[in-house]
Amino acid sequence: MLSTISRLLLAQGSYARQSLRFLYHGTPATVGKYATEQFTYIKSAIENNQIDWEDIKNNLLSIQGGINQKNVDAVLFKFMIYNKKYDAARSFGQHLKSLNNEVSLGSLNGLLSLYYELGKENNLSKEEKLDILNIYNYLHDKYKVLDFLTCEHLLHALCVINEWSKAIKLLDDINLSSKPSHSAYSIVIATLFRNNKKKMAMEFIQKSVNNKRGLQDIAYDAWIDYILRKYKQNDTKAKYLNEIGVHISNTCSTVSIVIAKRLLHEYNAIGWKANFTKIIKASGQCLSCKQNLDCLSLSKEEFEMLERNIKDKLIVGSDLFLKTSPEELNKFLEFVEKTGPYDIILDALNICYAVGKGSKTQRMAALNNVVGYFLKQDKKILILGRKHMLNWDKFVMQRILGRVKSFFTDNVSQDDPYFITAAILSGPNTDFVSKDLLRGHTFSLKDEYLRVIFKRWQWQHQWMVFQGYNKFNIQPPLTFTPCGQKNNETWHLPYKSQEEVETNQFNDGTPNLSTWLCVAPKLIQINKLI
């Protein structure tokens, strides 16, 4: 159905394309065969200042389509807010209140969204502020427990009038059944900074991190504004701006180009030297300051924590038993304990498929090349594969397997946790070979600190293989950790460019090394020149 609407709307020009975007973000009820005609009428009525809302609604409902008596008010609100027709939306809100009828929950959400959009740019009137508080009291008296969407709309509206304590209560309500969104956390954090509640803001930053909700621009902006508002001396400003760098570093975050530009401007304004730069992948060298990024190796305590949690949570605590048997898992763990430790673990099937659509002969040749590469370095190798691979050319497979240790899981088993476990159980110096980016396994670790440790371990120990033009390439792990870090008083912070989008190029899991910020005290720059 959506594809049909797409063709209709695209044939009607830019406004139609805008309405199409609204449909994709709108309620399912707005999507129908005649949806285009209904939205065309709404646009015409609003642009011609036909502010007799009862006439507009009656005319709209006389047009066949998905907008009906039940959803018309909410759809009108959403359409006007989406298209930034705030004066019209304000007028419609006044109209609904003048009817003295019970306003639907969808319309109340629309009104709250309007107040949030208006409040972002200008102070709301006393009447509008009171209206938000009245809606808050009304909804809690009527429903006791609010749905996720209403909580979010209400939270946003409360934050623009600095009712941060009520917004925090709504965060608690959302946490009863789900996780607050990135936006909910960030706007609460921004509101706390705006009201000089730094200690509470930092507590909610940690909560957002724990819930895998990275900070949005509004939170970073309010954090920077707080620092500039509170502190007057450049050295003191630098001290507290550096706390933002610590947050980015500790969470392996990547900020937006907007925040990167803001940081660049503010650091330069206090006498530091800030530049956009690139990092050389082979060495980790910054092209601006010529320093190399550090390899943030795991401490003994960090590795032991990772080892303990990988065994207890990633393997036993995951859904692995849905794809394999406890007997197979125990057999594997006994095998590793008896035959290990290993220097290198090979994800055999992943390596074999690095040749793309190559034949089985080519796949076995790829595996043989990788085995030969590490045998030349006198490495103790474990091959992990699936049992169906044993049906490939037996002579070739026996020649490969005769030089290494091997373990083959059932064909229906999930093999990724096996090679992760084998690598970690073999010790802190063991590497593994796989193109799998292991995003799912990182995500399954509930503790943010553990996820960062796992990612650092992965960057330091993962080899990858690629089929190049007439050449099979083996790529070693990075010699540096590609996350924000401080090197000799100089910050290197990654950011995402506005143009950065998904491409068809292979993603090897390394952050974009062409979009970084280099920030150093000018004293460092002078010493470098000397």
Decide if 413 contacts 434 (C-beta within 8 A): no
pLDDT 10s digits, 6-61: 333 333 344 444 444 444 344 444 445 556 788 888 888 888 776 789 999 998 88
Q: Using the predicted structure, report yes or no on whether residue 153 has a pLDDT greater than 80.
A: yes
Which tokens sit at 182?
């990135």
Mean pLDDT across 287-315: 87
Share of the chain above pLDDT 90, in %: 59
Q: Quick: pLDDT tens for 305-322.
A: 988 887 776 555 554 444
Tokens of 320: 């692995």
The mean pLDDT of the chain is 85
Domain annotation for the chain: domains and CATH numbers: 274-297+483-529 (no CATH), 300-471 (3.40.50.11980)
The answer to whether 152 and 184 are in contact (CB under 8 A) is: yes
Question: What φ, ψ does residue 462 adopt, rounded to 5°?
Answer: -95, 120
Q: Is 477's pLDDT higher than 80?
A: yes
Helices vs strands, H then E, count in the chain = 24, 11
Nearest to 404 by CA among 427, 379, 369, 428: 379
Residue 396 host element (H or E): helix 394-401
**Contacts of 272-276 spanning 24+ positions with Cβ under 8 A:** 272/238, 272/519, 272/520, 272/521, 272/522, 273/519, 273/520, 273/521, 273/522, 273/524, 273/525, 274/517, 274/518, 274/519, 274/520, 275/517, 275/518, 276/515, 276/516, 276/517, 276/518
Confidence of residue 505 (pLDDT cuts 50, 70, 90): very low
- Residue 50's pLDDT is what? 65
Determine the longest span between alpha carbons in the chain, in angstroms: 86
- Is residue 166 a contact partner of residue 158, using CB atoms and an 8 Å limit? yes
Provide the pLDDT for residue 415. Answer: 64
Give the strands of the sheet with 381-386, arranged side by side.
Answer: 405-409, 381-386, 344-347, 431-433, 462-468, 471-475
State the DSSP H helix or E strand holding residue 494, giving kind and residue range, or none if neither.
strand 490-496
- The pTM of the full predicted model, rounded to 2 decimals, is 0.84
Banded model confidence at residue 325, pLDDT cuts 50, 70, 90? confident
The two tokens of residue 471 are 């050449």
According to the per-residue pLDDT averaged within each range, which of 61-65, 238-242, 357-361, 522-526 is highest?
238-242
Q: Parallel, antiparallel, or unpaired for β 431-433 and 344-347? A: parallel
| pLDDT in the model for residue 46 | 84
Reported as a pLDDT band with limits 50, 70 and 90, residue 214 is: very high
Residue 97, token pair as written in the block: 């209140």
**CA 36/CA 132 separation, integer angstroms:** 33
Query: What pLDDT was estimated at residue 34?
Result: 54
Q: Is the pLDDT at 211 greater than 70, yes or no?
A: yes
Q: Answer whether residue 526 shows pLDDT above 50.
A: no
Mean pLDDT of 216-240: 97
User: 279 to each of 80, 316, 402, 511, how far by Cα in Å?
Assistant: 45, 39, 42, 10
CA separation for the pair 20, 18 (Å, rounded) = 5
Give the C-alpha separation, 307 to 454, whole Å.
10
Nearest Cα neighbor of 284 from 20, 51, 494 is 494
Amino acid identity for residue 209 in this structure:
V
